[in-house]
Amino acid sequence: MQPWAVNNGLESPSYHTTHSEGAHMGLQMKSFFPIVETLSNYKREDLRGDMTAGLTTAVMLIPQGMAYAMLAGLPPIIGLYASTIPVAVYALLGTSRQLAVGPVAMVSLLTATGVGALAETGSADYVSLAIFLALMVGGMQLTMGIARLGFLVNFLSHPVISGFTSAAALIIGFSQLKHLLGVKIERSHHVHKILLQAYNQLGNIHIPTLIIGAASIGILLTLKRVKPTFPAALSVVVLGSLSVWALDLHAAGMAIVGDVPAGLPPFSVPTFSIDTLERLAPTALAISLVGFMESISVAKAFASKNRYEVSPNQELIALGAANIAGGFFHAYPVTGGFSRTAVNAQAGAKSTLASLITAGLIIVTLLFLTPLFYYVPKAVLAAIIMTAVFGLVDVQEVRHLWAVKRSDLALLVLTFAATLSVGIEMGILTGVGASLLWFVVRSTRPHFAVLGRIPGTTAYRNIKNHPEAQTIPGILAIRIDAQFYFGNVTFLKETLKKLERETAGELEAVIIDASSVNQLDSSADAALHELAFDYQDRNIALLFANVKGPVVEVMKRSHFIERLGEDHFFLSVHDAVQSLKTRASNTDYHPSYTTSGEERINA
C-alpha cells in the first residue's frame, strides 16, 4: 500500500529590492503607458515600417471611417473624428503593436440599433446620444480593465460570436441596399423586411447609382484578390468622386456626402439624463464586450505571429480611455478591426507609433482636405461596407462544427437565427444565455469513465475507448471528469447505483479516480459522507485516487479523511487496487467509516 500525498507547493521567497523613487515612477509609467517603453527601446530601422504602415492605414481608414459612420446613421465627419483622438489615445496605452483602432462595422451597427431606438436617425439628438454612448462604453471598458475583468469576455463563446457576426454581417450588408440602389428603404434589423422593401422598389432604382455602386464592388473584390495591399477603398472613392464631378451626377439625383466641415473635432462634454443612461446601458455593455472581443482576438493573433504578448486588462484600459476621449471629441464608439490591422501589419507596423502617424495624417486631412469629400457618392461608401462585411459570414465555421462538435453548431445556429429574427442585442443575449445554460446542463451531467487496466502496464483507462482494458471482478473504478458540486451530486449517486447493478459479481470495492475533480463544495462533501455510510453498511470498501490539493483541504475540514481513514487514499488507481488485493488476504478486514450514530445524522 502506498499512502496518499498531496503537494501543496512551496511559497516563493520574498525579495526586497530597494528602488529609487524615480525608478519606481518610471516602472509605473511603463506599465500604464506602454508607449514609454516602446520609445525607450525603439530601433531606428523600424521607423520606415511604422511610417509606411501609418500612411497606408490612414489611406484605408479615411473612406472606411466615413462609410461606417454612415452605417451608424451618423454624418461621415463623425467617422473621421473617431479616427483621430481615440486612435492616438490607444497608441499611448495599448499593448498591441499592430492593432488598428477606429470605427468598425459591428460596433456601428450596434450603435445604430441602440441609439435608433431613442432618437430619429441623423437628428441632432441622435448624434448627441451616439457621442455619449462612446463615453459610456469607455467608462465600462476602463472600469473592467482596472478591476481586471478581462475574463468576462470568455462568456462570449466562439460559436456564439460566429453566429452573431454572420447574422450581423447580413443585416449590415443588406442595410446598404438603399444607398446601392438609390431608393428609399426604411431602416430595419430584419433582413427579410429589407429585401421585401427592395423588391417593391425595383421600378424606382436609380441606374447611375447602381452602376457606380456595382462597379465599386467589382473593383474592390478584384483588387482584394489580385493585390491585397493596394488602397482599394481610396481608389473607388477617388474614381467615384471624379465620375460624379465630371458627369454632374449629383444633379441627376445621385446621393453624395456633400459638405464636410473642416477643422479638428471640437471638445465638449456630452449632455445626458439618468433615463438616457439607463436606456443606453444594454447597448453600451454589448458594445463594450463585443468590441473588446473583436479587438483582443485580432491583437492576440498578430501578437502570436510576431512573438510578443498583449495584456487583456491593459487592452481594456486602452480601449476604454480611447472611447472616453472620443466621447469628449465628437466621436462614436471605436475598437480594433481585423482588416485594417491586417493591412497595418502587412505594411510593416512595428509599434504603436504607426497608429500615432495614422491619427496625425487624418488630422491633417481634417484641416486641409475635407473639400475633396464633397462629391463622394454614398453608393461607393455602401460598396465599401458591403464588401467588408459579407466576408464575415463564417460558412467555414459551420462546416467545421458540423464535423467536430454539433452541440456548438446548435449554439451558432440559434444565435444566428435569434439575431436575424429578434434583433442585434437580443440575438447576442440569446446566444450568451443559451451557451451558459448548456454549460450548466453539461456540468450537471458530466462525463464519467469506468476504468480498466491496460495489460502489461499499471495504467487504468476508459474501457469504452480502450477495449483491451481489463476490469477486475468485484471492483468498480470510476473517473468523474468535472468539479463535484451540488448540481451533479444526484447524477453521481445515480451513476454509481447504475454501474453497481452492471458490475459482474458482487461489488466489493469502489475506487473513485478524482484526478479531474478540481473543486468540492459542501453539498458534494455531504454526498461523499452518505456514500461512505451506505458502503460501510453493505461491507463495500470506498477508496480514492489522485485527489487534488483543493479537494483534500475540503475533505480535511469536514473530517472526511479522518473518518474514512488516510489509508483509503492513494496516488494512483493501480496503488488502490494493489491495496485491495493485499487487504483481501486479511480475512479480519472490514471497511469502516468511524462515526457515531449522532455524527451520521449531522454529517
Does a structural domain hold residue 430? no
Amino acid at the residue 471: T
Pick from 188-197, 452-461, 589-598: least confident: 589-598
Query: Looking at the domain assignment, is residue 197 inside a domain?
Result: yes
What angle in degrees, to the nearest 10, is found between the helix axes of 85-93 and 312-328?
Answer: 150
Q: Which pLDDT belongs to residue 29?
A: 52
Can you give the pLDDT at residue 227?
85
Residue 267 pLDDT greater than 80, yes or no = yes
Domain boundary pick from 363, 382, 397:
397
CATH label of the domain that carries residue 474: 3.30.750.24
Higher-scoring residue by pLDDT: 567, 593: 567
Does 451 share its domain with 384? no
Q: Would you state the torsion angle of the CA atoms of residues 408, 411, 413, 419, taken in this order, to the nearest 10 degrees?
A: -150
Give 126-153 as a DSSP string: HHHHHHHHHHHHHHHHHHHHHTT-GGGG
- Segments in 423-572 forming alpha helices (H): 424-444, 489-502, 522-537, 549-557, 560-564
Are residue 156 and residue 229 in the same domain, yes or no?
yes
Q: Which of 397, 413, 430 is the last residue of a domain?
A: 397
Using DSSP's 3-state secondary structure scheme, residue 188 falls into coil
Residues 378 and 479 both lie in one domain: no
351 and 461 part of one domain: no
Cβ–Cβ < 8 Å for 284, 136: yes
Q: By residue range, what is the domain housing residue 295? A: 44-397
Backbone phi, psi, residue 41, to 5° = -110, 20
In a domain, 150, yes or no: yes
Note the Cα 342 to chain centre separation in Å: 19
Tell me which of 215 and 439 has the higher pLDDT. Answer: 215
Q: How many distinct structural domains can be found in the chain? A: 2
User: 358 falls in which pLDDT band (50, 70, 90)?
Assistant: very high
In a domain, 388, yes or no: yes
- The distance from CA 341 to its chain's CA centroid, rounded to whole angstroms, is 17
Q: Is residue 513 scored above 80 in pLDDT?
A: yes
Residue 207 sits in the same domain as residue 312? yes
Buried b (16+ CB within 10 A) or exposed e, 371-405: eebebbbbbbbbbbbbbbbbebbbeebbeebeeee
Tell me how long the chain is: 603
The tens digit of pLDDT for each residue in 80-137 reads 999 999 999 999 999 999 999 999 988 998 999 899 999 999 899 999 999 999 999 9
Q: Please state, in angstroms and rounded to a whole number, the distance separating the CA atoms of residues 452 and 461.
A: 6
Residue 42 confidence (pLDDT): 86
Give the pLDDT score at 597: 36
In a domain, 35, yes or no: no
232-256, pLDDT tens digit by residue?
Answer: 888 999 999 999 999 999 999 999 9
Measuring CA to CA, how many Å separate 160 from each of 153, 156, 408?
A: 12, 6, 8
Q: Give the full edge-to-edge strand order of the sheet including 541-545.
A: 460-462, 448-453, 475-480, 509-513, 541-545, 569-570
Mark whether 79 and 171 lie in a shared domain.
yes
Q: Which residue has the higher pLDDT, 422 or 79?
A: 79
Which range (41-45, 171-175, 480-484, 596-600) has the least confidence?
Answer: 596-600
User: Distance between CA 551 and CA 553 in Å, rounded?
Assistant: 5
Residues 272, 125 contacting (CB under 8 angstroms): no
Question: Is there a single domain that holds both residue 457 and residue 375?
Answer: no
Q: What is the pLDDT of residue 243?
A: 95
Please report the pLDDT score of residue 79 as a whole number: 96
**152 or 419, which is more confident?**
419
Instruction: Say which residue the cell 468590441 belongs to.
Output: 291
Residue 27 lies in a domain: no
Confidence of residue 596 (pLDDT cuts 50, 70, 90): very low
Cell of 201: 422598389
Q: How far apart are CA 110 and CA 172, in angstroms?
A: 10
Secondary structure (3-state) at 158: helix
pLDDT band at 602 (very low <50, low <70, confident <90, very high): very low
In this predicted structure, what is the pLDDT of residue 586?
62
Arithmetic mean of pLDDT over the chain = 86
Q: What is the pLDDT of residues 16-59, one digit of tens each?
A: 444 445 444 454 555 668 888 888 888 888 899 899 989 989 98
Query: How would residue 584 be classed by pLDDT, with cut points 50, 70 and 90?
Result: low
pLDDT of residue 18: 47
pLDDT of residue 379: 93
Q: Which three-class secondary structure state does DSSP give residue 372?
A: helix
Q: What is the pLDDT of residue 3?
A: 41
Given a cut of 80, whether residue 71 has pLDDT beyond it is: yes
Q: Is the domain of 293 the same as that of 374? A: yes
Q: How many CB atoms lie within 10 A of CB 518?
A: 13
376 or 505, higher pLDDT: 376
Decide if 403 is inside a domain.
Answer: no
Residue at 499 is within a domain: yes
Q: C-alpha distances in angstroms, 467 versus 18, 119, 418, 450, 501? A: 62, 66, 43, 12, 21
Residue 454 shares a structural domain with residue 580: yes
User: What is the tens place of the pLDDT at every residue in 322-340?
Assistant: 999 999 999 999 999 887 8
Percent of the chain topping pLDDT 70: 91
pLDDT in tens, 523-540: 999 999 999 999 998 999
Report the pLDDT value the prediction gives residue 192, as an integer from 0 to 100: 84
pLDDT of residue 5: 42
Q: pLDDT value at position 1? A: 40
Q: Which uninterrupted H or E stretch holds 569? A: strand 569-570
Phi, psi of 44 (to 5 degrees): -60, -35
| Of 380, 397, 414, the domain-final residue | 397
Do 379 and 454 reside in the same domain of the chain?
no
Q: Looking at the structure, do residues 317 and 459 belong to the same domain, yes or no?
A: no
pLDDT digits 0-9 by tens, 193-220: 889 999 999 999 999 999 999 999 999 9
**Distance between CA atoms of 152 and 21, rounded to whole angstroms?**
35
Amino acid at 19: H
**Phi and psi (nearest 5°) for 22?**
-65, -40
Residue 153 pLDDT grade (very low, low, confident, very high; cuts 50, 70, 90): confident
